[in-house]
Amino acid sequence: MIFLLSIILISAIAAVGCSTPPAYGEYDSGVSIAYLKSLCRGSSYDITDDITICGTVIANDHLGEFYKSIVIADDSGGIEVAIDKRDIYLDLPIHSRITIFCSGLSLGRLGGKIELGAHPTGDFPVDGIPADKFSKYFKTEAGGTNTTPIEHTISGLKPTDISSYVLLRNLRISGELPDAWCAVENGEYIDTTHILEDADGFTLPLRVRSSCSYAGMPTPKGPFDIAGIIDYSDNTYYLRITNYAISEKR
């Protein structure tokens, strides 16, 4: 009896905060982001069960840092969501709480990273969820609050940190200090990778998109703290800034 009551209680907690759009039937199974990602054991997984995830938007395209995607997180971790839509931040702003109705979507794996989106038709792990299906899969919840990044160290990064929102302290850009966040080639900003180094000598690549609003802004001259999303490709962790959360030490 205790075991049965525990199952009922866990199910009830998981479903808290999830909404149901009347036009698309009833979803009665809210799951954690970590559980959703665990379903993708191969290169891709088509979701057919009526399950939802609820989380907070920790990255979007507001400052041009992410392209046609957002990252959401709950207490179990984060996941990037591909959406074939521009100006996503107008519908899903930073710190907003959202529900995603997952039936009909797909999970895709590239290396150690799992993404959520539409069924893949090309070389990418998932396609973007079509803009005309946006209201079918997404609903913004009331009560969004500012999200606090998890304080972390470069040496302590592990697979479960992929797509998580972290804070790294007392870093410098290794090597010759660049003038701006993005280099210029043929008169245009280009995507640029910097190498971050902490006080213990551990390093982490930082990738900055040329489309970000601060591409031409100067880089910090001294140690700084930075918050961003941990990403992963080519067997390497790297950082992507979100919401330009950088604090230079004085």
Q: Which CA distances in Å does 23 have to 83, 118, 146? A: 21, 20, 31
Statement: residue 27 has pLDDT above 70: no
Overall average pLDDT of the 34-57 stretch:
95
Which residues are paired to 97 by β-bridges?
Answer: 56, 141
What pLDDT does residue 249 have?
Answer: 78
First to last CA, the chain: 59
pLDDT band at residue 128 under the 50/70/90 scheme: very high
Average pLDDT over residues 161-178: 95
> Is pLDDT at 232 greater than 90 in this prediction?
yes
Query: Closest Cα to residue 47, out of 96, 100, 97?
Result: 100
CATH of 150-248, one of 1.20.210.10, 2.40.50.140, 3.40.50.300, 2.40.160.20: 2.40.50.140
Q: How many CB atoms lie within 10 A of CB 225?
A: 17
Q: What is the mean pLDDT of residues 60-80?
A: 96
C-alpha span between 160 and 73 (Å, rounded): 12
Residue 25 is predicted with a pLDDT of: 37
Instruction: Provide the residue type at 226 as one letter.
Output: I
pLDDT reading at 55 higher than 50: yes
Domains 18-141 and 150-248 share a fold: yes
| 18-141 classified as CATH 2.40.50.140 | yes
244: tokens are 């330009």
Report the candidate in 126, 77, 85 with the shortest Cα–Cα distance to residue 102.
Answer: 126
Q: Is the pLDDT of residue 10 over 80?
A: no
Q: Does the pLDDT of residue 26 top 90, yes or no? A: no
> Mean pLDDT across the stretch 170-197?
95
Residue 26, amino acid: E
Question: Is the confidence at residue 8, as pLDDT, over 90?
Answer: no
**Boundaries of every domain in the chain:** 18-141, 150-248
What SS3 class is residue 213?
A: coil
Give tens-digit pLDDT for 140-162.
986 667 788 999 999 999 999 99
Under the banding of pLDDT at 50, 70 and 90, the label for residue 111 is: confident
| Cα-based distances in Å from 30 to 27, 128, 140 | 8, 22, 15
The share of the chain scoring above pLDDT 90, in percent, equals 80
Average pLDDT on 230-248 reads: 95
